[in-house]
Structure 1
Amino acid sequence: MAPESKIDKSVILVVAGVIEKQGKYLLTQRHDHASQGGLWEFPGGKVEAGESETQALERELHEELAIETMTGEFLADSVFDYGDKVVHLKGYLTHWVSGELVLHSHQDVAWVERDEINDFTLCPADYPIVEVLLSLPLE
């Protein structure tokens, strides 16, 4: 009996910043033509070889949004198979340090109250992070 054949998809490590500013959280909307187009997400990106997750997150947020941030505590992670790739997403509470938002990689942004996040259609991998965020006590 021959072993089952399966497609070996590499896992892409991605970090996301749950950016809080004045009691609201930043969501970004992916370009319509991109993978997961039109969906909302916590911004971030791929961890490159030789980078720590913190370095990658702060670099990606600067490249994508032109802001300086400081990575805080780890919130949650998820592994999601999008069919063409598997994403291991790690979400971190992230603190805004400076800068004015410039959209380099997204078509829209929204600052939302914590209880409004689920009003947006998010990328599937982001939902476990939302669940943990919503379970945290309000400060």
Structure 2
Amino acid sequence: MKKYIRVVGAVITKDNMILCAQRSESMSLPLLWEFPGGKIESNEQPEDALKRELKEEMNCTILVNDKVVTTVHEYEFATIELTTYYSNIISGDIYLAEHKQIKWLPANELFSLEWAPADIPAVKKVMEDA
């Protein structure tokens, strides 16, 4: 049976731009784009997991706002349940501990990137909300 993994992602907005993060070559789904985040630990609330992951991966503190969407996507390696939240950076400068690069894009340009499949419903919702 495939692993079922619950993860969270941050749709970080600033000055009408959205933070997009490219996965590194060493990660699963190499070089695809995603909203940064990570796995929810057992007995951890999604919002707390998101704050922890952004501190670990990008060295910044975020404010978690409204939920964007929850989607379930089956990959060959696991089934991923991804919940995304609109977020804002409240302190810290972004440092990339895991990702290859980041880009800030307006919502109408998000599909200029090749997104990880689980993130695509969130990308569409963000574009609708813009």
Q: TM-score, normalised by structure 2?
A: 0.97
Deviation at 1:32, TM superposition (A): 1.3
Deviation at 1:33, TM superposition (A): 2.4
Aligned amino acid, residue 41 of structure 1: E
Aligned amino acid, residue 103 of structure 2: A
Select 1:129's aligned residue among 102, 122, 128. 122
Greater than 6 Å deviation, 4+ residue runs = none
- Once the two structures are superposed, the pairs formed by residues 29-108 of structure 1 within 5 Å of their partners are 29-108=22-101
Deviation at 1:96, TM superposition (A): 1.3
**Separation in 1, partners of 2:103, 2:84:** 18
The equivalent of 1:3 in structure 2 is none
Deviation at 1:20, TM superposition (A): 0.2
2:113 is the counterpart of 1:120? yes
Q: Say which SS state the counterpart of residue 106 (structure 1) adopts.
A: coil
**Separation in 2, partners of 1:115, 1:99:** 27
Deviations 1:85-136 (A, max 9, x none): 1100001101111110100010101011111111000100000001111111
Deviation at 1:34, TM superposition (A): 1.5
The equivalent of 2:18 in structure 1 is 25
**Separation in 2, partners of 1:30, 1:130:** 16
**Separation in 2, partners of 1:26, 1:51:** 24
Q: TM-score, normalised by structure 1?
A: 0.91
Q: Say which SS state the counterpart of residue 96 (structure 1) adopts.
A: strand
Select 1:15's aligned residue among 1, 8, 16. 8
Aligned length: 130
Structure 1: segments with no counterpart, 5+ residues: 1-7
Aligned amino acid, residue 96 of structure 2: L
Deviation at 1:10, TM superposition (A): 2.3
Greater C-alpha radius of gyration: 1
